Amino acid sequence: MNPIQITLPDGSVREYPQGSTGLDIAQSISDGLMRNTLSIKIKTQTMAAAEVWDATRPIAEDAQLQLLTWNDPEGKATFWHSSAHLLAEAIESLYPGTKFGIGPAIEQGFYYDIEPPAGVVLSQENFGEIEQKMTDLARQKSDFVRQEVAKEEAIRYFTQKGDEYKLELLEGLQDGQITFYQQGNFTDLCRGPHIPNTDKIKAIKLLNVAGAYWRGDEKRKQLTRLYAIAFPQAKELKAFLEMRAEAEKRDHRKLGKELELFTFSDKVGKGLPLWLPKGAILRERLENFLKKAQVRAGYEPVISPHIGSKELYVTSGHYAKYGQDSFQPIHTPDDEEEYLLKPMNCPHHCEIYKSRPRSYRDLPMRYAEFGTVYRYEQSGELHGLTRVRGFTQDDAHIFCRPDQVKTEFARVIDLVQYVFTALGFAEYTAQVSLRDPDNPAKYIGLEEDWARAEREIQEVAQEKGLNTVVAYGEAAFYGPKLDFMVKDAIGRKWQLGTIQVDYNLPHRFELEYVGADNQNTGP
């Protein structure tokens, strides 16, 4: 076998036998690194983008390689996803006949959607025995074993188990792309990756139990969702629980009630907040501060209605992408009229721009609006003011020439940083949200527009010296964006501020301006 060349993050190149694993490479550096390696991030010439793999998976060709540990987001996600499999193994052992949906890692821990056997209702009273079972199974040091499986074999396996949820997931997979993972006595349909073995999972805590509709569809069966978290050391779980207790003291729903800021009413409607006098005063002061900052930055205020013609959102592309998840159309006595509660402000602002001819001398034009929008969130996902069906956006749209994009993008960054400084948000990360290279069907628009927008965002972020991370698959369906992730007083991350570059709306709304040559310049 020919040796393979492995390029590490520091640029060094090492030679290894073909078929070496991430763990082999980690051990060649140090035994401590091998013990801490949870998965690997690998990029070869045959890959469109870097992928996260099991650290035990053989590497057959030259590659760029990063060894992922608990300190890396992808390593942490691998750890928590593997912990979800351990939770499922414990559930299957304690409650035979359980059916399983999905069990992903989330920002803080993981969950698994399950259907317990008839007559079994899981509650917090069951948490102790589940945690103990997970701990016992983890101590067995079971390896996570990856196996490529033919679709016919996979269907046969889950048919014998009577698990219709896994069978439905298999319907969307092609033969040749199906993998099973096994640890101990549990086998699951999963693309991975996973940690080497269960012994790395040292501290476990079940956090909550809730109902969750299968595939998020309220017309489908409601499953039981078990939330949990796990850590490689007990002291990390202790620190997490202490932070969680502090977070509960600061829960905005609790403070909102105690300070008489806002309330909700089932008669008004789920997810539609009512601002009480004290909350209205607080909100108005914040809005006035932001409006003054916008005017100083050259924005002009506009106001758009709370509804819009369905055709407006068909033109923008939002209806095709989100129509089924929005409030359904409002029908008027005129059979040909259909309206939607406004789900976003951008199509309205396009029409404001289009209300009269524009010259290249008019650009850039910056419109700002505190526009209230409405989105039909599922009732089980509503959460205080952070997940609602009606909310007001501090929203703005800039119409500019292509040669002005980078300058305007940089000016928006300046405005965001001014607001963060004024409000005391000192610690934040700028997330460059790009397309998912493996799922181009999610996005609309021309390839050259996407490539230009992604390049411009990254260039400006670098020129501004921002602390950035790249997140593939987090772009909006119409364009890439820069998301500002702010840490609060106890270290929780929140998305607070987004700058997007959209070359699609000008095409869809046929937005033009008269150029220096006295000719109309379109999208």
Residue 1 has a pLDDT of: 67
Q: How far, in whole angstroms, is CA 98 from its chain's centroid? A: 29
10, 365, 437, 506 from 449: Cα distances, Å: 33, 21, 15, 11
> Of 384, 399, 414, which residue sits at a domain end?
399
Strand partners, 429: 485
| CB 349, CB 304: distance < 8 Å | yes
273, 319, 343, 446 from 308: Cα distances, Å: 22, 12, 9, 27
- 391 and 264 share a domain? yes
Q: What is the rounded distance in angstroms from the CA atom of residue 101 to the CA atom of residue 234?
A: 29
Percent with pLDDT over 70 in the chain: 99
Of 203, 215, 229, which Cα lies nearest the Cα of 81?
229
Strand order in the sheet with 51-54: 13-16, 4-7, 63-68, 39-43, 51-54
Residues 41-95: tens digit of each pLDDT: 999 998 888 999 999 999 999 999 999 999 999 999 999 999 999 999 999 999 9
3-class SS string, 381-431:
HCECCCECCEEEEEEEEEECCHHHHHHHHHHHHHHHHHHHHHHCCCCEEEE
- 409 and 392 share a domain? no
Cβ-based neighbours of 122, under 8 Å, separated by 6 or more:
95, 116, 209, 224, 226
- 390 and 293 share a domain? yes
3-state helix, strand, coil in the chain (%, to 5): 35, 25, 35
- 267 and 367 share a domain? yes
My answer on whether omega of the bond before 364 falls inside 30° of 0, hence cis, is yes
| CB 143, CB 196: distance < 8 Å | yes
Q: What is the rounded distance in angstroms from the CA atom of residue 458 to the CA atom of residue 410?
A: 11
For 344, list phi and psi in degrees, rounded to 5.
-160, 160
- 267 and 138 share a domain? no
- 59 and 170 share a domain? no
CATH number at residue 322: 3.30.930.10
pTM: 0.74
Looking at this protein, which amino acid is placed at residue 161? K
Question: What does pLDDT average to in each consecutive run of 10 residues of the chain (523 residues)?
Answer: 90 94 96 96 90 96 96 96 98 96 94 95 96 97 96 95 94 90 96 96 96 88 96 96 89 94 96 97 97 97 96 91 83 89 95 96 97 88 91 95 95 96 91 87 87 94 92 88 88 88 92 91 71
Structural domain count of the chain = 4
> Of 189, 220, 249, which residue sits at a domain end?
249
Strand partners, 373: 391
- 222 and 82 share a domain? yes
CATH number at residue 205: 3.30.980.10
Q: How far, in whole angstroms, is CA 348 from its chain's centroid? A: 27
> Of 69, 98, 114, which residue sits at a domain end?
69
| Terminal Cα distance for the chain, rounded | 54
- 323 and 357 share a domain? yes
- 98 and 244 share a domain? yes
Domain that includes residue 57, residue range: 4-69
- 353 and 488 share a domain? no
Of 511, 514, 519, 512, which Cα lies nearest the Cα of 359?
514
My answer on whether omega of the bond before 357 falls inside 30° of 0, hence cis, is no
Strand partners, 179: 148
Burial-class residue 340 by CB neighbours within 10 Å (0-12, 13-18, 19+): buried
- 87 and 229 share a domain? yes
User: What size, in residues, is the chain?
Assistant: 523
CATH number at residue 62: 3.10.20.30
- 393 and 407 share a domain? no
Residues 5-15: tens digit of each pLDDT: 999 999 999 99
